[in-house]
Structure 1
Amino acid sequence: MKLSPPLILRLISSLCFITTLALAISMSKPGCQEKCGNITIPYPFGIGSKCSANSNFTVICQNSTNPPTPFLSSINMEALNISMLGMVMVKLPVSPLNCSDVETTQYLATSLLGTPFTISSDYNSLAVLGYHITVILHAEEIGSIIGCRADCDANSTDTSCNGVNCCQTTIPPGLQELQYTYQSINRANTTNNSSCGYVFPVESAWFQEDYTRYKGLHNQTVNLFDQEFRYAPLVLDWEFAYSDNATCGYASSRVSYTPPGRYCSCYPGYEGNPYLPGGCSHIDECNDPTFNPCGDAICINREGYSECQYPDDNNIWSHPDENNRSRIKIAFISIGSAFGALILLLASWKSTKTIRKKIKENRKHKFFKRNGGLLLQQQLSATDNVLDKTKLFSSKELAQATDRYSENRILGRGGQGTVYKGMLTDGRIVAVKKYKRVDEGDLEAFINEVVILSQINHRNVVKLLGCCLETEVPLLVYEFILNGTLFQHIHDPNEEFPLSWEIRLRIAREIAGALSYLHSAASAPIYHRDIKSTNILLDDKYHAKVSDFGTSRSVAIDQTHLTTRVLGTFGYLDPEYFRSSQFTEKSDVYSFGVVMVELLTGEKAVTSVRAEEGKSLAIHFLHSMEENHLFEILDPRVLREGSKEDIVAVAELARRCLHLNGKKRPTMKEVAVELEGIQMLKEGSVCMQNQEDDTIDVDESSDFSSISASMHLDTMTAYSQDAHRQFLDEP
């Protein structure tokens, strides 16, 4: 886990803060016990209800152990260290999993709901120890799959926790409870309720220390069922507010409030507990050799700072004010002398101007190089100098276009960055994508998106206008798409422009045409890898535009698949890809099938409201077709406006796209041709008969079961949820 310098400094401060100050200043509420065993208890925490700010920060000191042990009563967990910088380290109970080959969903035993504590995403990771265990973490704050898989190797001496006997993944910020799904995969002699490992959040440093020592105690192999392994260190973030707008003690000017960490600290020159009234006391730098800045001079202690007195030529110690006057006199003399050098400075002005210009150019080149400009030029050199055709915007131009990246200009936020609405000097409205701080992963995604979009020329794919590489973070400039995402129009309908059946068919055809172009008509096949309704934009005429190519990949013409780590969005992700880590063009077909089902049903790809067997819209749809209940799950507008034949044809096509066996799915080219055929049949049908005869009359007399039966749904048995899970579990 990579930590930024500010976070590292904060962690170091939190570990050293209490031990350095507790010797001279009491950190607890006056009249209260300051320590429980070896642990200092700073206010707002306190031993007993009278010594803490409120019940959330009450500590119970158990004297039955040696040394005594502090417990946080609100969460019933042992405290290992408490920092006033918004962190506390606790002892998390750990128990083995009861595993089988069936997916199991459960919560972490300890919940922090209703308390000011959250699981720190900066200092913790989710650890998985075990034999052939796959774990997926669920949280409303994330839309993508987060998880990992631990495979068994009894002879391994690897302690890096990178997948052999142990794996780890990140934890989203702000969580107060963890819900995860786990399953024992390809494990011989698996029986229900047999212990196969552990899943728990843990301090990231544990992987380099305790896990390594633990393996060494068991002959280089972790004994997952050892009764000694019962706890793991966990870092929690905490927040505290008195009332109304008061957050830091009553110490006013001596205390600073530090967002976003939401903790208080004393100003420089002060020390103590900022949460106590008058808790920050002035440091006497003159009496402490560590802080004394005067050396051999006389040090005069002031409120919040110190001054030094220096001797004059007669060895008379002068007051700081007199010393300052002497310095001013010397300064005037220096200025007079410098005036004589003005001619020389004017002569060198031209040279200085040239040097400054060079420095500015070097700075821009530094950013260009750091943002992957050289690598981008390399990759685009094989595409007929596309970089020359793609405009390189200046940082000044884009700052003016977005009103210096005002919050009011934000169109959306994503995992890779923020998108702003802007207006160029020529009056064009554009969308400016500002990436987050660039590391290797973000840089690869940025370069990849430029390379992919630079090779695409299709009316249903969002157009890249240019980029800016001379800023601290890279920027991409796209054409502005006016009417938002397809997801918004399906799940938050607009009365001014409702999605009619005819428009839904047209959007499906346009998306299929764009994907068909990417797969088979581009200079090199392109797999999008994240098709979903939020990545489909609608322009001013409500035509579809496929967007967000940050995870897309180009492949060689003779290449059939990509082997990558699993990326995608839960609900749209191809189960065959999740099982094999091999992404094919048929994986995009599966995701498109889910979008088609969204258009048919008006339901979200994943929702907690749906029953357990239908949490995935794809499974729910296939199950409904199998049970001849297709017309019971369709959007009412689709039922009113669509013809029976068209609905059945589109549903059957979606079913084929969602086939669990990728080889049996149609290609996107075949999907596009079939949707065009449905449209041609629809237009021919309109010419032959009235629209009233073609639409569905939704009333109690409609025999939907006979309609569904005509689709030969008896062949759908393989698409039940049990079959879906069986497919994931087969070797």
Structure 2
Amino acid sequence: MMMEKKTRTIQHITWFLWFVVVLFVWACIATASLAASSVANPGCLETCGDIIVPYPFGIEDPKCAKNKSFLLVCNRSTNPPKLYIGENIFVYNISVENSTATTGIDAAFRCYNETGLKWQFDQQITLLNGPLTFSNSRNKFTSLGCDNLAFMNDANGGFGGGCFSLCSYNESSPPDDGSCSGVGCCQTQIPKHLKTLNITLGKISSNNISDNSVSNISCVYAFLTDPTLFNTSTIDLHIDPSIDNRYPSPPVVLDWVVGKEKCEASEGPSGYACGDTGTLCSYSDNGRGYRCSCQEGYIGNPYLRQGCQDINECEDPSTYPCEGTCKNTPGNYTCICPLVMRGDGKVACRGVRLIVIVTVLGAIISFVISILLIFILYKRRRQEKNFIKHGGLVLQNQRVRIFKEEELIKVTNNYGHLLGQGGFGSVYRGVLADDTHIAVKKPRGLDKTDLNQQFQHEICIISQVNHKNVVKLLGLCLHTDIPLLVYEFISNGTLFEHIHKTKSSFLRSWKNCLRIAEETASALNYLHSSADPPIIHRDVKSSNILLDDHHTAKVSDFGASVLIPLGQNGLAIAVQGTLGYLDPEYLTTGNLTAKSDVYSFGVLLVELLTGQNPCTFTRFGERSNLIQYFVSSLQNENLLQILNVEAIDRIEREQILEVAKLIVNCLNSCGEKRPPMMEVAEVLAKLMRVSHESLLVQYNSEDTESLTSDLPFHGLEFENATSHMGCQLSEFHLSETPLILNQVDSSIDL
């Protein structure tokens, strides 16, 4: 018996504990739900009677409102309780969403009987300096009654206005349909930013209009109201308003703002008035300041510290429809249609048979794969044809490397780094896998036949060259329609850029200029004398001389070069080159020899010494011929005054004069009288050896004897010939050689 009693006791205790736990959990959930749905400050009353009072407004306790301006009074002595702003403005409703408060304000009136004016009440409404303002968009100043004059103005006299209403002889009241068009009723707008309003009434005539069948009283009214909330026909003009305090209190809409500064401004200790989450700040059109609202997809009171709460649209399918998988997102939701269904799940999902989807998808995949295979096979076949056409079967057994097009596209970053452009192509920089920097010469959009001939010709030329002062060919790409040439990358730009653009200081040194001249002459001498068969460069100029990091000269661009057949000294060929550097004899006769390169090299030396561009040389503001100017300065013994290089001692000045004499011989108008490039290279090499002497004291008079004394100085002949030179085609005597000029190639660089 005792055991059974103890068991029952334990069961009762267990049930009681479970009841307490369930009650506690329910209380927590209810409290959390209440806190989440509350619109008032935590711990504050949020209703007065049946009127909800949201924050920033509060009832009675200053801690419940944002500040004193938002503090309201709840009169619980009436039934039901009434909410007031101040002492005499009754509150019907407060809207956080619209930032409005709907209030009831007594109308001003005048009532007459058969003896005259009996009652009079002029209204004075003051909203003080708080956040409230009469809404100019919602309210209208309205007057009811016959032969009535209604006036309004603010307390400061900043504005004034009103309206009047008339009645015909057989009417004693306004229409009962609620219209207000001037017959027994009139309306007018109010201005913005209005905080005070004084209303007074008057009569147009002294004749009192009354309907004796109803009453001996006739009243006129004036008030502010929202016409959408109030029907004027509800006011009886023949009832004594003093009986039972029947004063009409039409609804008046007030706009309010929460702060008077900018949205980001801090206002006292509370700071920014909008909540932390899902809120927006906007400025009021009526009343200086800002107000808060919830972002789309959020709900709640934006003035509370926690801000607005995200709406879980997936929990309310009647309002937020979804025919698929619903997923709530901050401020919105997504709805994904079920598998094999399509459409917008928020609107409707349309189904398609799975077998149709699989069939269509399979057909598309098969078609795409087929197109890709055809494209790959076509591209490979085309690459193989190009490889064979460009002599790849022979070249692949040579020392030159064969690149694939895909490899060059990758190492040049899809030809993204342009180094320069020439007559037939562009040059792009790239980096191989072994960190070797390369320059890829790629054709431009010209005629493919001409481009093929040009690049095959350059391959033929450059493949025979192996000299330290000639740009080295690293490889070829023969799989493209037109071969691509891969050269070693020369990092320091062209000699032209150093002379005319950057005006490099190292070119001020005579030793540096002499070394560059000697290296260039050595490369040209190699082309003329050591190559088999000999090669004429045909476009010697400063922009085709590259400089590496050590300022070593490298001759480049063999696109215009030609091979001299064995046993011949020259070729009759279409004129090609750059005017200003072009041999005048070759230009007028069309006969190309190795001496044409000698002439161009002489122009290059003049450009190197003077720092002037032979194609754009101007003197005294007029275009002039640099070669004539140079020779004239040499003959007048003022050569050192026009040079761009600095001689540090007597030896260097004498070397400059020796090079100047060499230049004059190279620029002789008669090609046969010019020295061969071998002699030019030898003279410059001797000068270099003298320049490298370590003990200058041993440099005697015999050492300084002219190293070019064996080369004739044809100064007069050159002076006469220079009239045929210059950078303008019109300066040449074209009438003397019409037949030859028909052979001039269109690729001459002007």
Q: How would you bin the TM-score normalised by the shorter chain?
A: 0.3 to 0.5
Of structures 1 and 2, the one scoring higher in RCO (CA 8 A, sep 6+) is: 1
TM-score normalised to the size of structure 2? 0.45
